Amino acid sequence: MKTKDIKAYGTKAADAPLHSINIDRREPTPHDVEIEILYCGICHSDLHAVRNEWGGTIYPIVPGHEIVGRVTKVGGHVTKFKPGDLAAVGCIVDSCRECEYCKEGLEQFCEPGNTIVFGSPDKHLGGQTYGGFSENIVVDENYVLHVPEKLDLASAAPLLCAGITTYSPLKHWNAGPGKKVGIIGIGGLGHLAIKIARAMGAYVVVFSTSLSKAEDAKRLGADEVVLSTDAEQMKQQSKLDMILDTVSAKHNVNTYLHLLKVDGTLVLVGLPADQLPVGAFSLITGRKSFAGSNIGGIAETQEMLNFCAEHNITADIELINIQQINEAFDRLEKGDVHYRFVIDMASLKNN
């Protein structure tokens, strides 16, 4: 298979900084779309993977799974895209297409295992896949998304992970008019969850450990903001239909399970490295559920992009150059970002 050498940013070790490297990309096969990457968001899971905090990282690694760009070339059998189109790629770039979940549009739960944009076995070139901290990417058209023209491209990039990660469970657990939805955390995931839940018509209650974020939560669309470290405020909080937990650090989920109505659900979308103990009485008192959700399928991701365009929803971002990536990772680890870093990939040309 023909390949070409392109610029990227990656690392060969957990304790080494990201730096300029070269990787191979395949030339488009008949069903492939080649995309020049214009912007790529930085997700906390990029940081976890690069530093091997979940274990199992294979090096060298080129992270990045919130990709927005422009189509530069298509294979001969491609029907959904043409050169010049705006396009996006999220976490999934392939799946088995045959299991019950793939057939239902739930590629995120592909039974044999899907192909993630970075760190998965590369079915075409061998080795492993490389992500969006690179000049371009080549993906089967069935796993490429259309970007509505209305969306600002840079601030739309985080929708490819943070957006779908919050949209999917809010939709699945029926957030909408008449529902009271709690959001734990006002970060990369949480700030988009507030916007999306409000746009769906839900009454939104935000829980934060920082009083300083209360005003911003209201700006984002929260109806109420509760300081989770204030026992009296937590005690006075009325019961919720659903709580979306976006926190990636260890915390006490039992505190929030107590705030659910009968048959309410707390849905975990943050990915703490540590275990989260759940008390039995937190669940059985009120027939409550503790659930999890993981991104969304391709069709649902497209639905989310269209929904966000309709409601003028994008991420609040800080745009950086690729040369600032290591500083951005350090700041992300400290929670020092308002609320999502996005890389202007034109800066990669300066390397």
- At residue 25, the pLDDT reads 97
The yes or no reply on domain 3-161+296-350 and CATH 3.90.226.10 is no
**Tell me: the pLDDT tens digits for 270-324?**
887 788 999 999 999 999 999 999 999 999 999 999 999 999 999 999 999 999 9
The enclosing H or E element of 166 equals helix 162-172
Q: Which helix (H) or strand (E) holds 303?
A: helix 298-310
* Predicted local confidence at residue 46, as pLDDT: 94
Rounded average pLDDT over 180-189: 94
Beta carbons within 8 Å of 131's beta carbon, 6+ residues apart: 40, 46, 62, 63, 64, 65, 67, 117, 118, 119, 137
Provide CB contacts within 8 A for 226, sequence distance 6+: 205, 206, 207, 208, 233, 234, 237
Please say if the pLDDT value at position 230 is more than 90.
no
Task: Determine the average pLDDT of the residues in 167-189.
Answer: 96
For residue 237, what pLDDT is reported? 86
80-103 confidence digits (pLDDT tens): 999 999 999 999 999 999 999 999
Write out the CATH class of domain 162-292. alpha beta
For 12-32, write each residue's pLDDT tens digit: 999 999 999 999 999 999 999
Strands 67-74 and 32-42: antiparallel
Predicted confidence band at 164 (pLDDT cuts at 50, 70, 90)? Answer: very high
pTM: 0.95
Q: What is the pLDDT of residue 229?
A: 87
SS3 228: coil
Please state the domain extents for the chain: 3-161+296-350, 162-292
Which tokens in the block code for residue 60?
């060298």
Average confidence score pLDDT of the chain = 95
